Every structure is written in structure tokens, then in C-alpha cells.
Chains A and B, each alone.
Chain A
Amino acid sequence: MTLSTPAPGGSPVRQAGGGTAAPLPARVLRHGAYEALGMLRNGEQLVLAIVLPLLALTALVLTPVLDAYGPDRIDVAAPGVLALCTMSTAFTGQGIATGFDRRYGVLRFLSTTPLGRSGLILGKAVAVAVVLAVQLVVIGGAAVLMGWTPEPAGILPAALLLLLGSAAFTALGLLVAGTLRPEATLAVTNLVWILLAAAGGVIIPAASLPAAAEPFVSVLPSAALGDGLRAALVDGVFDPIACLVLLAWAALASLAAIRWFKWS
């Protein structure tokens, strides 16, 4: 199309130039930023990502729920709430957004652009990481203000766990979003979030659950992330089993998503 900009010779500016793709890192990072901004601008997502974790943190500090697990309430509460943040962003928030994008044909359209299917998935992972970083700053900052003193030796193991945890929950969110209708995705991801938050070893250690439930709960990604973060940030201990559990969930959910994800 000529954009009514005549070139000096008088011939119109040709539209057909043979389009060229932006480089892969630029495409992925731009899509990640675009989706992250979309998530942070969405009111419901913001409640899920920031407001609920802050409420949970406050409630856990004001009530004696966690008194059995450590001398200082905030030290036990903060790692669990960070695990909760990972679940809400990577699984619930991202799953719901992807489910509706699939309904509206957004995934199909974007996969016809140079972004492509793999760029779309990588971009979503970047978006989850960006939102999670914002949560770490806001929720972690609030916890520090409430007196949280994380064990320095556990910071690096915690970062690794958060990375593996967001990979596992992102893959699980994509699996749900790519196989169920968006309304069902909305219901399932919210329900699973509530169940795991309440009894999945996220906030309350799996070891405190009834003995019959403990073996099942301890292999859930929620418990691996919650207990692993507490081991790291409360005791400064690296938990290799938690890492392996999260790695296994990430691998299995990714394979399942690759196999069963429907783009339309």
C-alpha cells in the first residue's frame, strides 16, 4: 500500500518490501513485556497477584496459625506466600489469560506472525517471570517491613526453586488452558489454587497434614515449592528432593502440553 508518501522520483513508496522478522530475543522479550503489562493492568489479576498475597501475609502474622513451625511468624509465612505468588501468577493468572486468548483466536493470529508458537510460549514464560519479580519486590518488601529476615545462605537455592516452580506451574497452566474451555479453565485453575493454598503444603508445611495425606501432598509441586522455600529461607538448607519434584512436574506438564495443547 502506498501511504500517500510519494518518493522523490514521483513513484509511490512500495509497501511490498519483503517483510523481515525482528530477531528472536527481541520478539520474545517484547511479547513478554506486552503480556506482563496486560496482566498488571488487569484488575482481577492484580488482586490475585498482589492483594491476596498481602492479605495472606498479614493474616499469617496476626494469627497463631504458624506458631508451631518456627519462633518467628513472618519468617515462616513469607516463603509460603512467595510460593503462593508463583502459583497465582504462573498457574491461575497465566492459565486464565491463555484460555481466553485461545477462545478469541489471539493465539492463532499471533502464531502467524514472526513470533510463532514457540515465541508465544517463551514470551509467556518471560511475562510470568516479570510479574513474579514485581511480586517478589512488593510482597518481599512488605515482609521485610514486617520484620522478615531470610537466611542469606538460602537465597540462591530459593531463586532456583522459584525458577523451577514457575516453570512447572506455567506448564500446568498452559496444559489446562490448552485443553479445556476458558470458563472451565477459570473454574479449575481457581479451585486448584484454593485447594493447594489450603492443603497443598504451600503455606502450611506438608509434614503437618494428617499422616495419610502427607505422602501424596509432599510430591505435589505446591508442597515441593512451599517446603523447599521454607527449608532454604528459614533454615538456609538446599532441598534437592524439592528441586527434583518440581523438575519432574515441569517436564511432565510440558510434554503433556506439547502433546495435547489445542491452539484453536
Chain B
Amino acid sequence: MPTSSPALEIDGLVKDFGPVGALDGRMVRVLDGVSLRAERGAVTVLLGANGAGKTTTLECAQGLQRADGGRVRLLGEDPWRATPQLRARVGVMLQDGGLPPSVRPLALLRHVASMYADPLPVDALAGRLGLDAFGAVSIRRLSGGQKQRLALACALVGRPEVVFLDEPSAGLDPQSRTIVFDIIRELRADGLAVILTTHLLDDAQRLADYVFIVEGGRTVAEGTVAELTADTEADGTRELRFETVPGLSFPSDLLPHLLQRETEPGQYVLRGPLTADDVARLARWWDACGVMPTSISLAPRSLEDVFLDISGRSIR
């Protein structure tokens, strides 16, 4: 099959659940026109609030759910009728992990590896993901981050061409997060199609080559992060972020036309129609306070703004 065709193609996907007893036995349409494409050598992110339909979309793409309408093509085939050979080319990390609690991590990984003709060396993979440190205890004793790393190893052990990661950073401690994000970038560099869902804008901003925003069961926006955050309305809205000592309070007469907040201790965000003069005034105030930021960034709209504009609500 030519490598130019997308790894995953979804057109107008429709999925109904039900009948739902609480709704007098009616069906509920959870997906109503999701469309997306995922290319090889790229990280494709499905971004949306909880309940937007991200997981259901992935499950239709993985062959775990049958589409009620639209078209799904995974590596050119219908995933609902996936052959073992197709499944061998696709790695899946489920949101809830799908890990048996009474089994030991390395025993599970070896078992999953035994389903493939030519799996990755288990010991090397386990070492890379830091699984060997807890390989001998049963899975029920693992932390959330350890379980996520094991689930990722299980998704990768068969040398897939396409990897689905449903909320891969859920429950990750900072160390696991770094390992997982590094691996996602390596997979992209190795030419895999990585498809992941997240409701974390920061994840999307850091990892995504291409973003599909899913809201209310349909794709409402798509593009690279740069495209999505480009100032389409030409109102001059920009976001200035800087990092310095925590607890600075902005004087009320300084830049009153901008939204100002300290998002995390020492992380400040100013948003609005920002001018060069505003930046100069801000710099004079830093000078007056005797602080020098350790980092400054200026961007057009953030993904969060985009999401707010599209859905009228916060993603969290």
C-alpha cells in the first residue's frame, strides 16, 4: 500500500448508543459527523472536553465499536472487520488501561508480545519505560503512572505502524510524563502515525502536529496548532506569558485593558489587544519592581481561546 495514503481516515462518523432506559428507550447519538485524517510520521490529537466523543471515535477506529454511519478506514481497511494481520500493525492503549490486576507487569507484557511474530525485545522495552523497577509486583499495586507506562509498552511491543493513545497523560507523575512524551516524539520520528486524545490543552500544544477539536460528537475545527491559534478575527488578541518570582500583584492602572492572571505560582498571563507600548510599560514595571523574568513568550491566541470561541465553554 502506498505510504502516501493516510494511516487513518474517518468521514462523517455516526454512532448511536442505546436504547437508554432513562430516555424512554430512545437512542442517543453520541457521534454525529466526526471526520479526521491521521498521517504517518505525525502526532494527531483529538482535543475535546470530557464527553465530547473522543473515546467513542477512537473505539470505532480501533474496531471495538461498529460505526452506525460514515466511513472509517484504518490502514486502508475496515477496522470492524480487522484481520489479525491488521491488528498486528496497530497498537492500542485504552483509557482505562485494560490491565488484569492480578498479573505481574512483565508477565503481561511477555504474553502480549507472544501474540506477534516479531515483537520488540521485551527486556529492552521494559527498561526503556522503566517497567523493570516494578516488574515483579502484581499490577493492582502499581501507581497510575506505572500502569500507563505498562499500557504504553503493551501498545508498542508488536512494532505497530499506527498507535492509538487514549488520554496518555492521565494520572502521570512528572517523571512518567517526560518518559511518555519523549517516546511519543520518537515514535513520530520513526514514521509511526500517533493518534491521541486529550482534554489537556498543554499536551496538545506540546505534542500535536495536527489537531482535531471534537465537540458534541462532531469535528468542529482542525489544523496545526499554529493555524488554529492564528489571529483569524484580526482583533489583535495576543497572549503574553512570563515567568518570574511568584506573588507579583499587578497595579490596577497597569494595562487595565488586558486580562491578567497568575496561572501557577510564578507563571503570569496577560491576554487581550496587546500593543508594543503595552510591552514597554510592562518592562518598565518589571524594572521598577526589580524583577527580571526568566522567560517571556508572546503568541497569538492560545488553543484555550480557540476552544472557548468554538464551544462557548471551558475545556475543563
Contact = CB atoms under 8 A, between A and B. Distances in A.
Interface of A: 1-5, 12, 14-24, 26-27, 30-31, 34, 38, 42, 101, 104-116, 119, 263-264
6 closest Cβ pairs, A-B complex: A109-B98, A105-B98, A21-B88, A112-B92, A19-B158, A114-B84
A109 B154 contact: yes
B118 A20 contact: yes
Interface size class of B (residues with CB under 8 A): 35 or more
Given A1-B187, A112-B90, A104 B116 contact: no
Interface stretch (B99-107, B259-267, B308-316): B99-107
Interface string B112-127: 1011111111001100
A3 B98 contact: no
A104 B98 contact: yes
Nearest to A27: B115
**Max chain B C-beta neighbours (<10 A), residue from A14, A16, A113:** A113
A3 B99 contact: no
B126 to A, nearest CB: 11
Interface of B: 62-64, 82, 84-85, 87-92, 94, 96-103, 111-112, 114-121, 124-125, 128, 151, 154, 156, 158-161, 183, 186-187, 190-192
A104 B101 contact: yes
Contacts of B88: 19-21, 113-114
Contacts of B183: 1
Given A16-B192, A106-B99, A114 B62 contact: no
23 contacts: A1-B190, A3-B124, A3-B125, A4-B128, A15-B120, A18-B159, A19-B118, A19-B119, A19-B161, A21-B84, A30-B114, A38-B103, A42-B102, A105-B94, A105-B97, A108-B64, A108-B94, A109-B151, A113-B87, A113-B88, A113-B112, A116-B87, A264-B64
B122 to A, nearest CB: 11
A21 B87 contact: yes
A2 B190 CA distance: 8
A116 B116 CA distance: 12
A229 to B, nearest CB: 32
A112 B87 contact: yes
B99 A19 contact: no
A22 B158 CA distance: 10
